[in-house]
């Protein structure tokens, strides 16, 4: 009887643990991305905090505060300024599109005399194509503009998320080792597995941010400067789009390639050639030169896994999916590797 009562008590307690955990996760769901980025920044700057703490002779609170201030000035402020610039430029481009009609005559130049008769045989006119393209451009740019402005217009939510991220980050920097020790101690998994998952999460996060995000930012900055020098309209916006494109395996060529092709087609050969040379020889080579140094072979995922997990992460979590997607994919692969190593070995020993 006592055994049954003890068994029932254990089961009820486990149900209570899962129920309370589920409710707690629901409570913090709205701030989960802020907490996630606090974890990411803690991983990236924990060595910096440790060095500052040594210089300050063990003053953890002061060291965490100085590290936080450095992150605010070096990371948060530039991102906020870039977001504001991209938003302003997007609004300006939408306004220009609404005022100026798209003209195929400017695109085709003298070829219109040859193209028009062939189109007329099909019952199509340049005017109808211009109208269709103009409407599509307005609708597309309007949708993009609304999305970008919608993200940045909810200022209160953005400020709240950043405030929570910085507040939580302070304690992660100060008490990171103790927090990890408590998790390993209290979570019901074998310690070696927990340490392996922790290390995998840390390594992939560093590799994704340092090896992918940092390179993407460098490529986007170089692309933006290139477009600005050459005279491309909306250089800041195109540079920001290059950052996003560079995070994918296809790379920033899907941005600077078509721009160079348009310049060459319109007869602006010098600008087109400059974009191709800088894009191929400088921007493109950043992957080959920097990525092997910043991303270790042990943490690198196959390109197809990176592409699928990145796109899936974006669809689920927005821009944070660029990091969350590959991290989740890496943990998924690691968990199944542990399953194979553990139960595969047991299965072999049972058959012998």
Q: What does the H/E/C string look like for the chain?
A: CHHHHHHHHHHHHHHHHHHHHHHHHHHCHHHHHHHHHHHHHHHHHHHHHHHHHHHCCCCHHHHHHHHHHHHHHHHHHHHHHHHHHHHHHHHHHHHHHHHCCCCHHHHHHHHHHHHHHHHHHCCCCHHHHHHHHHHHHHHHHHHHHHHHHHHHHCHHHHHHHHHHHHHHHHHHHHHHHHHHHHHHHHCCCCHHHHHHHHHHHHHHHHHHHHHHHHHHHHHHHHHHHHHHHHCCCCHHHHHHHHHHHHCCCCCCHHHHHHHHHHHHHCCCHHHHHHHHHHHHHHHCHHHHHHHHHHCCCCCCCCHHHHHHHHHHHHHHHHHHHHHHHHHHHHHHHHHHHHHHHHHHHHHHHHHC
Structural domain boundaries in the chain: 28-186, 189-339
Across 30-39, 113-122, 296-305, 330-339, least confident range? 113-122
| Comparison of pLDDT for 343 and 166, the residue scoring more | 166
Reported confidence tier of residue 65, pLDDT bands at 50, 70, 90: very high
pLDDT for position 138: 52
Return the pLDDT at 108.
44
- pLDDT for 68 equals 93
pLDDT of 313 strictly over 60: yes
Of 26-30, 46-50, 193-197, least confident by mean pLDDT is 193-197
Across the chain, what does the average pLDDT equal?
77
């Amino acid at each position: 009887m006592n055994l049954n009562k003890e068994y029932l008590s254990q089961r009820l307690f486990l149900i209570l643990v899962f129920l309370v955990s589920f409710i707690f996760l629901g409570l913090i769901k709205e701030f989960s991305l802020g907490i996630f980025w606090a974890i990411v920044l803690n991983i990236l700057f924990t060595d910096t905090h440790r060095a500052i703490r040594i210089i300050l002779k063990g003053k953890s609170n002061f060291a965490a505060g100085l590290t936080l201030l450095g992150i605010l000035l070096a990371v948060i402020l530039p991102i906020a300024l870039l977001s504001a610039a991209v938003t302003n430029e997007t609004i300006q481009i939408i306004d220009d599109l609404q005022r100026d009609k798209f003209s195929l005559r400017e695109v085709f130049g003298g070829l219109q005399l040859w193209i028009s008769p062939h189109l007329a045989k099909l019952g199509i006119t340049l005017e109808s194509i211009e109208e269709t393209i103009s409407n599509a451009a307005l609708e597309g740019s309007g949708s993009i503009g609304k999305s970008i402005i919608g993200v940045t217009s909810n200022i209160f939510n953005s400020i709240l998320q950043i405030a929570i991220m910085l507040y939580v980050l302070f304690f992660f920097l100060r008490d990171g080792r103790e927090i990890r020790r408590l998790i390993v101690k209290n979570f019901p998994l074998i310690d070696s597995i927990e340490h392996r998952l922790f290390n995998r999460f840390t390594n992939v996060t560093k590799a994704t941010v340092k090896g992918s995000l940092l390179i993407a930012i460098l490529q986007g900055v170089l692309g933006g400067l290139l477009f600005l020098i050459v005279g491309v309209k909306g250089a800041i916006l195109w540079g920001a789009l290059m950052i996003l494109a560079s995070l994918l395996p296809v790379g920033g060529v899907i941005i600077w390639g078509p721009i160079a092709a348009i310049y060459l087609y319109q007869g602006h050969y010098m600008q087109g050639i400059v974009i191709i040379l800088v894009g191929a020889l400088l921007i493109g080579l950043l992957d080959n030169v920097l990525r092997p140094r910043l991303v270790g072979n042990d943490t690198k995922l196959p390109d197809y896994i990176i592409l699928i997990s990145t796109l899936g992460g974006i669809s689920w979590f927005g821009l944070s999916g660029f990091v969350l997607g590959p991290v989740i994919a890496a943990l998924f692969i690691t968990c199944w590797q542990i399953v194979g190593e553990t139960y595969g070995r047991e299965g072999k020993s049972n058959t012998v």
